Structure 1
Amino acid sequence: MAHAEAHDAAAVAADAHQEHPIKLYLVVWGWLFILSAGSYMVDYLHVQGYLRWSLILIFMMLKAGLIVAVFMHMAWERLALVYAILVPPIAVLVFVWIMAIESEHTLWTRLTFFGLNP
């Protein structure tokens, strides 16, 4: 029985010190460079309006996702830990989106009620 527990402890210790190939980090660095270049090209090409902000946010989220997944080792974590870290910010973004929609409705209602709407 003690031998089985020692074997399980050794397996857990081996899993805790997992090393990844250098190629993985080089590929991620390459993608981060490409995404950063794309982000800089948005400014360099003077992209304006919603397209500009959409591209900047897309590049930002992709870079953050790569950094969190590989450099913070989130890709190899248990699903419960991933959910514990990712679900709250997603919920905050959903609530901000709902508040933005609510604010549009509130503005429309106030303008209509006070007779300022043409």
Structure 2
Amino acid sequence: MQHDPSITHEAQQHPISLYLKVWGLLFLLSAMSYLVDYMHVQGIMRWTLIIVFMLLKAGLIVSIFMHMAWERLSLIYAILVPPLVLLVLVRIMTIEANYAFWTRAIFMGGGG
């Protein structure tokens, strides 16, 4: 079998500096997440900060280390849309559960 020079299968190479910068950013985001505990941030602000840092780190890992940033848009949609739809459905179920609980509590004299 002869090699056809018109067909090239080159692996996509990214500079190591990109990975080192992302690694440094992940380290910084992790340090900021730990600082939330260290500074004794409480309440909704604590959980908001922790979740924001967590989502930023997950986004960096998926986009750079799992090479999602260089994939086709259809593949990105195929991977990201189903979890987002599930989150919407969970939110709708939470609202419905609260409605059912309070309806039971108001009209039946107890929530349990």
Alpha-carbon distance in 1 for matches of 2:35, 2:42: 12
1:77, CA displacement in angstroms? 0.5
2:33 partner amino acid? S
5+ residue gaps, structure 2: none
Choose which of 39, 61, 82 in structure 2 pairs with 1:67. Answer: 61
Give per-residue Cα distances to partners, 1:22-65, cap 9 Å, x unaligned: 11111101110110011000111111111111111110000000
- Report the TM-score when normalising by structure 2: 0.89
Of Structure 1 and Structure 2, the greater helix share is in: 1
Equivalenced residues, count:
108
**AA of the residue aligned to 1:30:** G
Match of 1:23 in 2: 17
Name structure 1 gaps, 5 residues minimum.
none
Q: Which of residues 39, 45, 50 is equivalent to 2:39?
A: 45
Q: Find the partner of 2:90 among 92, 96, 101.
A: 96
Q: Which moved more, 1:67-76 or 1:39-48?
A: 39-48
C-alpha displacement of 1:94: 1.0
Deviation readout 1:85-105 (Å, 9 max, x if unpaired): 111111111111111111111
- Secondary structure of 2:13 counterpart: coil
Q: Distance in 2 between matches of 1:19 and 1:105?
A: 53
Q: Normalising to structure 1: TM-score of the pair?
A: 0.85
Residues 4-23 of structure 1 aligned to structure 2 (within 5 Å): 7=6, 9-10=7-8, 13-14=9-10, 17-23=11-17
